[in-house]
């Protein structure tokens, strides 16, 4: 059985600040009643799925011979969490047989200094992809720096050009975490066409691009955000619930219908370890499938970063100025 830290109080991000533990979507229905009708909850092993993807990427890199993809990571400052994330990405790059290129700038770096580094990497033929680790120090404006990355090297899929291509359904880089969520659902054999998917969270990194990817797969998508008046009314009918809010323990059994798939994108450090946006232990016996934290979506994000880097290298080999 999965364990999760107790949720924070009060609840303020979604649902007008009401504590979801006191809400019930159906009068007279208890969580115990609902558990009687649910099957055993299956844990989606994102780490295993990611490992398989990384193996296939490494095989394709090896088969390419002398054409070795290169990923450049840019880290500003010494934020411990960012340093850990970048180290994990660099390790994965090396394990895949790719070229690991890294630039580490001081915390006080100026906008012009960071821009110069990005421009240098953009013009380097050995660099297939560029990743600017977020968040940036307060003195830096992230958006114009991200948009300096050429669309062909935008392995995070965060530039304005990449977002436009996603919205138009054109060929281009897809953001790693949303793409990883889609891959997880596909690996589990979950049919998205015709499914009702609730996306909780409307952030630029996950919620917005994921909603667009799901729509293109034929899902009926409902999005909840900080102004949603009744969160349960959005999530309870859904076949799939994807949660990316940054609010620990927000989603519980009152939000999920029996048998639904729950994907937890959140990750929070607590005294007891890592926890997500979902109170996973309370969904045991209710959710049909659920991703754990850790070991669920996180490994998929890195796997899809490698996929994007390989794709960027292949586009570079085609000598396309812009993917068409």
Contacts of 212 (CB under 8 A, 6+ apart): 166, 167
Q: Which of 19, 67, 78, 89 is catalytic?
A: 89
Helices (H), the chain: 31-36, 46-63, 80-95, 111-122, 142-146, 160-168, 176-187, 207-216, 231-235, 297-317
- From the list 45, 78, 124, 133, the catalytic residue is 133
| Closest residue by Cα to residue 142 from 151, 133, 150, 129 | 133
Has 284 been annotated as catalytic? Answer: no
CA angle 315, 318, 322 (to 5 degrees): 55
267 is in an annotated binding site: yes
Tell me whether residue 201 is annotated as binding.
yes
User: Is 230 a known active-site residue?
Assistant: no
Q: Is 286 annotated as a binding residue?
A: no
Active site residue 156: yes
Q: Is 15 annotated as contributing to ligand binding? A: no
CB 105 within 8 A of CB 117: yes
Stated as kind and residue range, the H or E segment containing 289 is strand 289-290
| Catalytic annotation, pick one of 67, 141, 147, 156 | 156
CA gap 159, 135 in Å, rounded: 15
Binding-site entries: 201-203, 267
Binding-site entries for NADP(+): 201-203, 267
Active site residues: 89, 133, 156
């Amino acid at each position: 059985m999965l364990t999760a830290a107790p949720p924070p109080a009060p609840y303020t991000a979604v649902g007008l600040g009401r504590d979801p533990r006191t809400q019930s979507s159906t009068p007279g229905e208890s969580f115990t009643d609902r558990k009687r009708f649910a099957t055993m909850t299956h844990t989606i092993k994102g780490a295993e799925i990611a490992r398989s993807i990384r193996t296939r990427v490494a095989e394709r890199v090896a088969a390419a011979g002398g054409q070795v993809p290169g990923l450049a990571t840019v880290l500003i400052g010494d934020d411990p969490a960012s340093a850990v994330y970048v180290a994990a990405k660099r390790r994965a790059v090396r394990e895949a047989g790719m070229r690991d290129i890294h630039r580490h700038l001081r915390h006080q770096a100026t906008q012009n200094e960071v821009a110069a580094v990005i421009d240098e990497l953009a013009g380097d033929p050995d660099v297939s992809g560029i990743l600017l680790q977020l968040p940036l120090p307060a003195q830096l404006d992230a958006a114009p720096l991200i948009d300096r990355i050429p669309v062909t090297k935008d392995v995070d899929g965060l530039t304005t050009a990449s977002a436009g291509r996603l919205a138009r359904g054109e060929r281009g880089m897809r953001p790693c975490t949303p793409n990883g969520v889609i891959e997880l659902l596909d690996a589990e054999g979950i049919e998205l066409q015709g499914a009702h998917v609730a996306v909780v969270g409307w952030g630029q990194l996950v919620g917005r691009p994921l909603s667009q990817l799901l729509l293109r797969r034929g899902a009926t998508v409902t999005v909840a955000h900080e102004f949603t008046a009744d969160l349960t009314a959005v999530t309870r009918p859904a076949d799939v619930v994807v949660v990316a809010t940054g609010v620990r323990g927000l989603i519980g059994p009152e939000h999920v219908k029996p048998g639904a798939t729950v994907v937890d994108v959140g990750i929070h450090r607590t005294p007891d370890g890592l926890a997500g946006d979902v109170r996973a232990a309370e969904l045991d016996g209710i959710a049909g499938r659920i991703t754990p934290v850790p070991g669920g979506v996180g490994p998929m994000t890195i796997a899809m970063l490698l996929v994007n880097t390989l794709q960027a290298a292949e586009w570079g080999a085609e000598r396309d100025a812009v993917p068409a």
